[in-house]
Amino acid sequence: MSDVKYLKADGTEVPRVSKIVGAYSPDGGEGLRRAAARIAAEESLRMVRDGSALHSGDSEVITIAANAHREQWDEKADTGTLTHSLIAQALGDDDPMARPVDDLPTALSGPGNTAQALGHFAGWAKWADVHRPKPLHLELPLVSERYGFGGTPDFIGHVELDGKRLLVVADWKTGSRLREEYDIKTAAYAVLVHEKLGLSADACLIVQCRNNTWAQRVMSKEHMRIGWVSFSSLLMLHHNRAELHRIRRGSGRTKKGGA
């Protein structure tokens, strides 16, 4: 949902949850950045060792390494996007696993992405067999008029937890671990849901579906409260930083003294 613009009623664009958390959280996007940077570095070293870049100049080495970086980032992002698409279809009473692979939404995918997404989806399906999710809303963009931010929760609805049927806000993840930043983001989604839909979640869920397996973190009311406090601090910092930039632009260029 990165192409969605979040607009208040007066047309003012507001930042998305992932941008606010990612800009300030030490965990924000680091998994992808580390993986892509490692591949870029390894590609550069390989070219130097085998001599393929000795006469092409540093700029070409950097360009080729950057392309490897970008392709790895895009492949991981596309796999996650395709997995989310499969989950949304399944929750919409359309079982993707019952259709030929060639008929799946592969427009985003590169080599191997479809197989990886199917493996992640299979892990989610196992989770769904246990927790029996029933959606009220799927990937619904929401904007907070009160706090000035927007976001799109993956799932708003009911699931079975500990023998009870609970209203939850859930986020699907396909990464290798459940990062702490996910708690902050999902707590922010719960506040959005309460403000815009009048629904008070009993819990938040971060569900990791990966390689035919699943894991989840259940956020209690207190856990959600702490997550929201953390997010609101980041949001205040974001708004204050934007205001400082506005003031600096209005006051003209920075003056520098000479010796």
Rounded (5°) CA angle 106-108-114 = 45
Q: What tokens does 20 get?
A: 């606010």
Interatomic CA distance for residues 152 and 143, integer angstroms:
9
pLDDT at residue number 158: 98
Residues 6+ away with beta carbon under 8 Å from 242: none
Cβ neighbours around 44 below 10 Å, total? 18
Closest CA to 154 of 202, 64, 90, 239: 90
Cα Rg of the chain, angstroms:
22
* Residue predicted with more confidence, 254 or 147: 147
Interatomic CA distance for residues 153 and 142, integer angstroms:
8
Among all chains, which residue has been given the structure tokens 């983001």? 185
Q: Reduce the DSSP state of residue 73 to 3 states and report it.
A: helix
- Residue range 11-62, pLDDT digits in tens: 999 999 999 998 776 554 444 444 444 445 555 555 555 555 544 445 454 4
* Residue predicted with more confidence, 81 or 94: 81
Which pLDDT band, with edges at 50, 70 and 90, does 181 fall under? very high
Closest CA to 114 of 139, 86, 93: 86
CA 54 to chain centre: 39
- Residue range 201-239, pLDDT digits in tens: 999 999 999 999 999 999 999 999 999 999 999 999 998
CA distances (Å), 201 to each of 124, 158, 165, in order?
21, 9, 12
Q: What tokens does 173 get?
A: 């993840």
Return the beta strands (E) in the chain as ranges. 6-7, 13-14, 134-138, 142-144, 149-151, 155-161, 164-173, 203-210, 213-219
DSSP for 122-188?
HHHHHHHHHH--EEEEES--EEETTTTEEE--SEEEEEEETTEEEEEEEEEE-SSS--HHHHHHHHH
* Residue predicted with more confidence, 253 or 217: 217
- Range in 3-7, 38-42, 74-78, 86-90 with the lowest mean pLDDT: 38-42
- The model carries a pTM of 0.74
CA distances (Å), 72 to each of 26, 49, 65, 226, in order?
21, 22, 11, 34
- Residue range 61-85, pLDDT digits in tens: 445 444 544 444 445 557 888 899 8
Strands 164-173 and 155-161: antiparallel
* Residue 155 near residue 138 (C-beta atoms within 8 A): yes
Q: Reduce the DSSP state of residue 206 to 3 states and report it.
A: strand
